[in-house]
Structure 1
């Protein structure tokens, strides 16, 4: 991994790139679609391969005289909507932060909904039974396991019936071809890419398939597709456990923690052990321990959410408990179907028998004795056991060769995408550079001014940071 900080490379990175002939690809017909948060927003759609039409949004560069090009963005997921992020002014990409001002000035920021997602058509459509609180993801005996597998099979078949054959084509390997179609339709000879979390997965696949089409690419909160699914589960279980302990330690000294003066970890454990779950007024039912663990996880990913997590635990353990703040709203959202379908294509099940399930459960509980009830990879891959669609892009060795220097970013205290994944992905990409965020939370972009500064400098110049750079 070497930085190519040569004057000649810098000069080339700043030169305008030639545009291919207009006949090379269909053009995008942008229309105004202003929102309260994005008054200059433009929207369009693009027909790509097979039955898919991709929804697009654009925030035009504010300094057209110094425009570098288009910056394609992906907010993660799997199944995250880039269009929705731009409708809110790009806050999901920290575009409201001062360090990102030059991005807004010099790039047309492009968001899109990947195939099967959001406003793209056909969209993955599943029924409300995809998440059933009565079906635990840690079956305790063979009867529970058989019920669990049958639920996954039936809910997956329901998704297939509602979505149609397109459900078999929403994997990330195929989605990378849509990125290439977007690039061509934009008239850009090369891609600038800012992908966070699962956006690193899609970006890396694009670079593998179209290395010569990469100008700059940031892969922040990186995923290493070379890892076997079981190894990824265990890595993330360790990272989630560490994040929960970091939160509990923060609670011992922070005035913002509603649990200050108490043992926050013990309070969490007691909550998880509540027989029958805890009432959630907003849902009108009790939420289970697994559901509350998912709700806590959703708050652990960003330190700015930690006060809310503490308040949620305090409310759920109060004399008149209410666990509404810890409900698993992500699992109850209609977009959860795309999350599951894409994840099952890209990673598949973590186990194929009750015996394998018991072994994996034991390992997760050993590595994460407090937080074991929920981690994202366990949620994705356990839901793939019995799924009726064969994985199209399961983990395999990944190598990116011949691309311009790519910037990989990983966090030392990231509960969702452990630093070891970023290190692995950087090894898989020839001439990449790894930037380490020593802070807390998921992705450097959303949590570190230092990381944002380095990413913007790279996106503009094409020159990666010095090897070994750490943002503290």
Structure 2
């Protein structure tokens, strides 16, 4: 079903016109508006932080159809001669970025520094740039989406390998999406990255910068890459950390991430087997892992810790095999992921409490700083095709291959969710994956792409294949695990700083240990 089938008056909701009417790569819509900056209206936000807003079109392809408000936060440069603004994005998609500004400001006010852990940008970047955290459309500060949380709190089986469960999944997704459309309005249909990058260009103009200086982590790498394709003449210094590949088929992207997740998990097993600090050291972790997943597939594991109403964030007390695998992936993404995953496994195996793999329980029908799922799913469903998954048989075929290659992780990952969670969605993708326009990307300055060897979410292979899409790209690698590299505060972070501050380009293909 497409959006025009769902609503009888699609034009009134600003649904896209034919693709031939869209701006072509290289064009830029002029913006006469400046970002409106003021002190933030909250005692919880340090005085060093500015809050800003900008009105942008609801639909950049039909700008006459109204506007939405984007919100952002800024820390002004410490140096006397800043290079301009520096934008970062935490990825997701759907993860807010503005709160990182507040965390940075509080950390600085406490007299701490980069080496002690929390700040997300270094002193070098703080000296050189005004740092801006922009919440993308549909997120907390930027006209947040509203959906019925009931559908998130009562999930259905995503790996629908029989006809009945496949139909249940389609109907569940359709009802959830219809709740978002009803509660949010026309913005629900305008969440694709094609809209986001045009928002970003207006914000660039609104802060008075000729070029966009950008670092996108994970899903933010996609925003940066697609911005570069559309606005190559406005790219300044750009870093893509944890690269998302945008030209792959449904099957290739699902299996590509599955292989990356499996490799990261095997690295975790090796670590625990050789590190006495691991609380599961000396135990047969692969067998324990598989046994827990198999048990959860037959009957959800109990997570009695979620019954504690004071727990933040709240969680659901039953853990399916899909929950187990997707939340384990989330844990592997973070810096302390290995010891945390080991403890989660110990608690599930020894204490029959799978709280470490329990899905979050949503408390609100509106997106906030901790609840990104509404924007997450809407962006994925706007950006990825699912037309090759027409039946349970199609899903079974994909996951037969995925499970043959990845017996522990079994094909469950974000790219899988980008398809299965969108079956039955009431519109077709507005920004489907595609091969980049090489005429446009041939005009680009150097773009730095960073990736770890065993990143569980964005395959190191994708960082290499994106060179075909971005011919000016230079690769740097980190011989390590976990998701993205800059925030690990090692050699890769120092290389990225040198590039962003001084324009120093590292030797292409260099591998660093930290």
TM-score normalized by structure 2?
0.82
Name 2:55's counterpart in structure 1: 47
Q: Does the aligned pair in 2 maintain the 1:228–1:396 contact within 8 Å?
A: no
- How far off its partner does 1:299 sit? 0.8
How far apart are the structure 2 equivalents of 1:351 and 1:231? 13
SS of aligned partner of 1:329: coil
Q: Distance in 1 between matches of 2:426 and 2:436?
A: 26
Distance 1:226 1:266 in 2: 36
Matches within 5 A, 1:100-139: 100-121=122-143, 123-131=144-152, 135-139=156-160
2:154 and 2:411 mapped to 1: Cα distance?
13
Structure 2 distance, partners of 1:373, 1:409, is 24
The residue correspondences of 1:253-272 to structure 2 (distance < 5 A) are 253-272=274-293
3-state SS in 1 of match to 2:422: coil
Question: Does residue 324 in structure 1 map to residue 365 in structure 2?
Answer: no
Is the CA contact (8 Å cut-off) linking 1:133 and 1:287 kept in structure 2? no
Quote the Cα distance in structure 2 between the aligned partners of 1:254 and 1:414: 20
1:144 matched to 2:144 = no
**Structure 1 residues 99-248: aligned runs within 5 Å:** 100-121=122-143, 123-131=144-152, 135-248=156-269
- TM-superposed CA distance for 1:54, in Å, is 0.7
SS in 1 for 2:236: strand
Q: Distance in 1 between matches of 2:448 and 2:275?
A: 34
Structure 2: distance between partners of 1:330 and 1:223? 28
1:435 counterpart residue number: 476
Selected match of 1:341 from 378, 398, 403: 378
Q: Which position in structure 2 is the counterpart of 1:365?
A: 403
Say if 2:304 is the partner of 1:281.
yes
Pick aligned residue for 2:418 from 367, 375, 380: 380
What is aligned with 2:311?
Answer: none
Structure 1 residues 135 and 321, CA, compared in 2 at 3 Å: closer, same or farther?
same
Q: 1:426 to 1:373 in 2, by over 3 A?
A: closer
Q: Deviations over 1:375-394 (max 9, x none)?
A: 11112221111111211011
Q: Which runs of 5+ in 2 are unaligned?
A: 1-29, 59-66, 308-316, 364-369
Which residue of structure 1 lines up, in the alignment, with residue 38 of structure 2? 31
Offset of 1:370 from its aligned partner? 0.8
The answer for the alignment partner of 1:6 in structure 2 is: none
Residues 258-301 of structure 1, C-alpha deviation per residue, up to 9 Å, x if partnerless?
Answer: 11110112111111122422221243332212112222111111
Q: Deviation of residue 331 (structure 1)?
A: 8.2
Q: Is the 8 A contact 1:37 1:88 kept in 2?
A: no
Instruction: Report if aligned partners of 1:214, 1:404 keep a CA contact under 8 Å in 2.
Output: yes
Q: Structure 1 regions of 5+ residues with no counterpart?
A: 1-22
Q: For each residue in 1:141-186, what CA deviation from the matched residue of structure 2 results, as whole angstroms up to 9, or x when unmatched? A: 1111111111111111111111111111110011101111111110
* Residue 75 (structure 1) aligned with residue 75 (structure 2): no
Q: SS in structure 1 opposite 2:256?
A: helix
Distance 1:106 1:392, change over 3 A: same
Structure-2 change in CA distance of 1:37 and 1:251 (3 Å): farther
State the secondary structure of the residue aligned to 2:479: strand
Supply the RMSD in Å over aligned alpha carbons.
2.3
For the residue of structure 1 that corresponds to 2:306, the secondary structure is coil
The answer for the alignment partner of 2:24 in structure 1 is none
- The superposition leaves residues 175-222 of structure 1 with CA deviations (integer Å, 9 ceiling, x where unpaired) of 101111111110111111011101110011111111111111001101
Deviation, 1:250, is 0.8
Q: Deviations over 1:220-251 (max 9, x none)?
A: 10112112232111100001111111111111
Aligned residue in 2 for 1:302: 334
Q: Displacement of 1:66 after TM fit?
A: 3.2
Distance 2:376 2:190 in 1: 14
Contact in 2 for aligned 1:348/1:385 (Cα 8 Å):
no
Matched, 1:354 2:392: yes
Q: Distance in 2 between matches of 1:367 and 1:91?
A: 45
Please report how far the alpha carbon of residue 406 of structure 1 lies from its aligned counterpart in structure 2 after TM superposition. Answer: 1.0
Is the CA contact 1:45–1:53 (under 8 Å) kept in the aligned structure 2? Answer: yes
Asked whether the 8 Å contact 1:276–1:286 carries over to 2, the reply is no
Secondary structure of 1:394's match?
A: coil
